[in-house]
């Protein structure tokens, strides 16, 4: 029994971090958008343990990988015996703020549940997802959503029509940003936290009913403060994007990727070229159409 699945990534159009909780995590509200850049997972029920291989040598294939943790938690919850072999074909950069590892974990849970004939219902899958990581619940579905709490409370939103036909440029430099470092760094920038709550829903409403030109100014990410302070290149890339055709630009999650939303593919391509001319070649400079429905199944 085997199955192949695509595993998409995300950007945050808004990431408003509030207070740190007793468990060390922060309360937050986010507006998250699925993005059609995919890893691929080939999953087979075989052997008697959890085996992970990956096309990229730098990616850990032991139990520190969220794919293995997802397979372990699925087995513990269902009591299924027997092993699983996963091959992961990575295209989403790591430490880029694009949620690739979280997406891989969600894809593993969904694939295993399918391969075993759906022993777990939605609510239990969601619980397992939330235990694996703050962004994993968002990746259990493929639509834009508001996320609250630690990230595990997912609220569907109306289609973000203002993004229809736009082109997204993702620029990731040659370095990554560890997420725990970015959150810790917020302590030095209290003014970047605790913006009034409700902005994620408000932005979703404005992007559903209005234009990007009007709503673009409301894009916000608390983590820009510590990350731009340490890595000024990222701020310069964002400013360059806004001065050269982007209607909105922001740091993705905790970085290091910066995204720019352009009116069309030609503008995104020429912006990508302009950024390369100004700052040199970056490790990722990819243009994708927005928003579009994209199935996670492999044809
Ligand atoms: O949940 P996840 O393992 O993806 O979180 C990675 C890190 O990001 C956490 O260890 C924590 O430092 C930070 N984080 C946080 N509050 C959240 C989500 C993540 O402080 N709501």
Domain ranges of the chain: 2-157, 161-289
Residue whose CA lies nearest to ligand 1 atom number 15 = 25
pLDDT per position as a tens digit, 169-220? 999 999 999 999 999 999 999 999 989 999 999 999 999 999 998 898 899 9
pLDDT per position as a tens digit, 50-82? 999 999 999 999 999 999 999 999 999 999 988
Largest CA distance in the chain: 56
Residue whose CA lies nearest to ligand 1 atom number 14 = 25
Of residues 106 and 293, more confidently modeled: 106
Please tell me if the domain spanning 2-157 has the same topology as the one spanning 161-289: no
Residue 294 has pLDDT above 80, yes or no: no
Tokens of 218: 């409301």
Average pLDDT, the chain: 95
Peptide bond preceding 2 in cis form (omega within 30 of 0):
no
pLDDT per position as a tens digit, 2-38? 999 999 999 999 999 999 999 999 999 999 999 999 9
Reference 163, options 198, 204, 222; nearest CA is 204
Task: Give the list of residues 6+ apart from residue 195 with CB closer than 8 angstroms, or none.
Answer: 16, 220, 222
Beta strands in 55-176 (DSSP E): 84-89, 145-148, 153-156, 167-172
Determine the distance separating the centroid of ligand 1 and the alpha carbon of 252, expressed in angstroms. 15
228 lines ligand 1 (CB under 6 A): no
- Going by pLDDT thresholds of 50, 70 and 90, the confidence category of residue 296 is confident
Strands 220-221 and 2-20: parallel
Q: Is 3.30.70.890 the CATH number for 161-289?
A: yes
For the entire predicted model, the pTM comes to: 0.96
Residue 293 has pLDDT above 70, yes or no: no
Residue 268 has pLDDT above 70, yes or no: yes
Hey, what CATH topology would domain 2-157 get? Ribosomal Protein S5; domain 2 (3.30.230)
> Hey, which of 9, 26, 227 would you mutate to test ligand 1's pocket, going by the most ligand atoms within 8 Å of its Cβ?
26
220 lines ligand 1 (CB under 6 A): no
Using the atom order of ligand 1, give the atom closest to the CA of residue 254.
Answer: 8
Residue whose CA lies nearest to ligand 1 atom number 9 = 180
Strands 2-20 and 26-45: antiparallel
Task: Give the list of residues 6+ apart from residue 57 with CB closer than 8 angstroms, or none.
Answer: none
């Amino acid at each position: 029994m085997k199955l192949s699945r695509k595993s998409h990534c995300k950007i945050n159009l808004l990431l408003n971090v509030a207070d740190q909780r007793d468990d060390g995590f922060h309360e937050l509200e986010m507006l998250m958008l699925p993005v059609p850049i995919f890893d691929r997972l080939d999953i087979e029920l075989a052997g008697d343990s959890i085996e992970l291989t990956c096309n990229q040598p730098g990616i850990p294939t032991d139990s520190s990988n969220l794919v293995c943790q997802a397979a372990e938690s699925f087995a513990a919850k269902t009591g299924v015996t027997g092993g699983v072999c996963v091959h992961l074909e990575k295209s989403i950069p790591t430490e880029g703020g694009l949620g690739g590892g979280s997406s891989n974990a969600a894809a593993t849970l969904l694939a295993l549940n399918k391969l075993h004939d759906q022993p777990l219902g939605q609510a239990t899958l969601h619980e397992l997802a939330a235990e694996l990581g703050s962004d994993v619940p968002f990746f259990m579905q493929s639509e834009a959503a508001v996320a609250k709490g630690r990230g595990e409370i997912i609220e569907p939103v109306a289609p973000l029509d203002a993004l229809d036909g736009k082109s997204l440029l993702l620029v990731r430099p040659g370095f990554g940003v560890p997420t725990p470092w970015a959150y810790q760094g917020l302590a030095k920038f209290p003014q970047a936290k605790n913006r009034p709550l409700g902005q994620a829903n408000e932005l979703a409403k404005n992007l559903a009913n209005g234009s990007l030109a009007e709503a673009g100014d409301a894009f916000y990410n608390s983590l820009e403060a510590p990350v731009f302070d340490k890595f000024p290149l990222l701020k310069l890339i964002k400013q360059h994007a806004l001065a050269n055709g982007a209607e909105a630009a922001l740091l993705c999650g905790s970085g290091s990727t910066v995204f720019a939303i352009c009116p069309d593919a030609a503008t995104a391509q020429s912006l990508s070229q302009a950024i390369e001319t100004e700052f040199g070649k970056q490790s990722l400079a990819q243009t994708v159409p927005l928003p579009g429905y994209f199935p996670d199944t492999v044809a």
